[in-house]
Amino acid sequence: MKKLCVVILVAMTILSATFSFGAEDFNNATMTGTFMIKAGLPMSGALFYMYNLATGPAPSRDKYWRVPDHVGALKGDGSFSIELPEGTYCIGAVQRLRGTTRIGPPEDGDFFLLSLDDNGLPKKYQVKKGDRLDVGTILGARQIKTPFLIPGTTAIEGSIQDADGKPVEGAMAFAFPTPTIIGKPLFVSERSCKAGKFVLRVPEGGTYYIKIRDDFGGGPPRAGKMLDGNREEPMSQVSVKTGETAHIGILKVKKFPGRGPNTE
């Protein structure tokens, strides 16, 4: 693996009631570039996100948070280099206020930068096998304030509780386009608040299938990780109309007790 970045494929296959990160051959095209908060101030230690437009819609700055296809770490000067399958991508980066590299939506105080075109829309970068594309310097990260619903947002609201009926803070709701547990979720909420409430924003109305987790994870579940059932149990289903907010109610979760090698 190249030293320029740590690459994670967010395949998100749901196996044994957890998110699994797979691996595949990326030796097709190379994309490089630099993310800066402003001139002279790089997004050091941030994570950059790659969104393949073949697997979902373009990302948004404020209407919803799409699950990325690939994630990597920026160098100290804000630069990155990543090998990708050929395709069309949008790109962005998140620098955490608290210095962590936790994958997921930006939180209050984090810096978020999405590469935009001249019309203010997510810029599309196309790469083919053997290409070496330098996207240059992307500037203008903005600091996120407490998330709020802008007029016309399509959203799903709910609450997360543990087995004792107590609210769960710090969990995320993932939205899948189909009721199967095999595949990659398309959208994810910000983390639930102290009262256990979450808001999952989506780009348009439709029927979505919801799973709750406390991280993006990878591999079999480990002791203490949050689960909302197993792969034999159906996911929670909710329908929402474009521009409206649907309420899914209370979703129950439990801590995985651990077994075998994953009891650490």
pLDDT: which is higher, 206 or 149: 206
Least trusted range by pLDDT, from 29-33, 82-86, 99-103, 250-254: 99-103
Whether 219 has a pLDDT exceeding 90, the answer reads no
Given a cut of 80, is residue 227 above it in pLDDT? no
Of residues 80 and 259, the one with the higher pLDDT is: 80
Comma-separated ranges of CATH 2.60.40.1120 domains in the chain:
154-262
Q: What pLDDT is stored for residue 230 in this prediction?
A: 53
- DSSP one-letter string for 78-110: SEEEEEE-SEEEEEEEEE-TTS----SS--TT-
- The whole-number pLDDT of residue 242 equals 97
Q: Which fold has domain 8-143?
A: Immunoglobulin-like (2.60.40)
Instruction: State the pLDDT at residue 11.
Output: 38
62-115 pLDDT per residue, tens:
899 999 999 999 999 999 999 999 999 999 999 998 877 788 888 889 999 999
Mean pLDDT in residue range 125-150: 89
Cα(160)–Cα(139) distance, integer angstroms: 37
Q: Where in the chain is the domain with CATH 2.60.40.10?
A: 8-143
Mean pLDDT score, 126-136: 95
124, 53 in Cβ contact below 8 A? yes
Structure tokens at 110: 């984090």
Contact 155, 201 (CB under 8 A): yes
Provide CATH code, domain 154-262: 2.60.40.1120
pLDDT, averaged across the chain = 83
Q: If you search the block for the tokens 């979760």, which residue do you land on?
A: 253
Distance CA 136, CA 118 (A): 15
Report whether 141 contacts 36 (CB < 8 A): yes
Among the listed residues 177, 143, 139, the one whose alpha carbon sits nearest the alpha carbon of residue 56: 177
Cβ-count burial of 26 within 10 angstroms (0-12 exposed, 13-18 middle, 19+ buried)?
Answer: middle
What 8-state DSSP symbol labels residue 147? P
